[in-house]
A and B are shown apart, each in its own frame.
Chain A
């Protein structure tokens, strides 16, 4: 008799799976919002901030983009207590994911901002707007629209990367799977299942982003002539 698939063996662990799924979704939703918001601030300040602010932020962006996510996570969770900063696992996961998404997205956004026609900023200035007002009302939405597909992908990458937070015992989807297969030894079934769940989450995320984009960037529909 060859190997058999028995998904019913996972049924007793439904509540663990659900808890894991909830954590993953919750972490993703919150960090996507905070990460992208922080990215806007970072992108703005990297262009318009004081020299020392620009310098500091380049440091943050470069360190984040050139080191492994798991090391960043370990540094925050295991490293920072050495400085007397103690953070619980879920908060550490939240901070690491936010900082990671913000660093990458800030670079993506910066490209979108610099592609915005100089004329748009001049029009803002000619109308008496400050740089901050011009960014807020004139530059931001078209810049977002321009790089939106890249931002969607980046957010999905961070969602998928969140599997790593199971390593600091955050009870996410991957942690649930590890936990279940250590009890019932049905590793094939459980990992197949969560693979499908991650796949669906990624599809769902892309779809939700597209729906939001269609509303927010509705102005572009007239451009397709």
Chain B
């Protein structure tokens, strides 16, 4: 079943055309890794998927519902699409528990006891149930990113977008975050990740999408794509990063 469907999406910033007609469909439960050079449009594509950037033309649907201001409210959008950022973006003045509870309380308007129960569940899932009352500044980068994942999960999105979620981490902290994502993938969560972790893309992703100059240049199963790249651009990219 197709969960995310991207049809001929274009996006330009002024004269700079960043997305030049993207077509992509992601099935429920699929894990898709988007790779490519910086400036190839991968983050912009991800940000279009939760409308942090509005696409200029084309169509994006999530669970058969079109994704634009007219057909989907911010609340509804947040219940469909969750996002984890490179720089965590935790709320520094709120405890871990409050970070996780905020959106379900404020946006979904759910009851406090119910929300706290969900918060403890998702924090358990990322292995941080003992940090419920800590402030973000008291946590390591890896722990902060896991809280950010839990915060996104608390809205129970259908798909989770991850924008280079390990790029701001010290190398020894990358593993703990990737393990959480791997566990989510194993549970059947739909994940779309922009990543520079080629090992992770190869091991966990069902499909790898290589973007180049605003287009999807090549895509396929990670085993094929990495061992037998078809285009010179991908060959060059792979030899540069591996």
Write the residues of chain A forming the contact surface with B, with a CB cutoff of 8 angstroms.
117, 119-120, 122-123, 125-130, 133, 137-138, 141-142, 145, 217, 219-220, 222-223, 225
Contacts and interface: CB of A to CB of B under 8 A. Distances in A.
Interface in B73-114: 74-79, 81-83, 85, 87, 89-95, 102-103, 106-108
Given A127-B151, A128-B75, A219 B137 contact: yes
Contact of B89 (A123, A133, A219): A123
A133 B135 CA distance: 21
Given A122-B52, A133-B107, A137-B102, A219 B82 contact: no
Interface residues of B, number: 33
Given A129-B74, A130-B74, A117 B89 contact: yes
A105 B90 CA distance: 27
A223 B107 CA distance: 29
Contacts of A219: 92-95, 135, 137
Contacts of A223: 92, 137
Contact of B107 (A120, A122, A128, A217): A128
A159 to B, nearest CB: 27
Contacts of B78: 126-128
B135 A127 contact: no
- Between B82, B90, B106, the greatest number of chain A beta carbons within 10 A of the residue's beta carbon is seen for B106
Given A128-B74, A142-B92, A222 B106 contact: no
B137 A129 contact: no
A139 to B, nearest CB: 9
Contacts of B106: 129, 133, 137
Given A133-B106, A222-B138, A125 B93 contact: no
B155 interface: yes
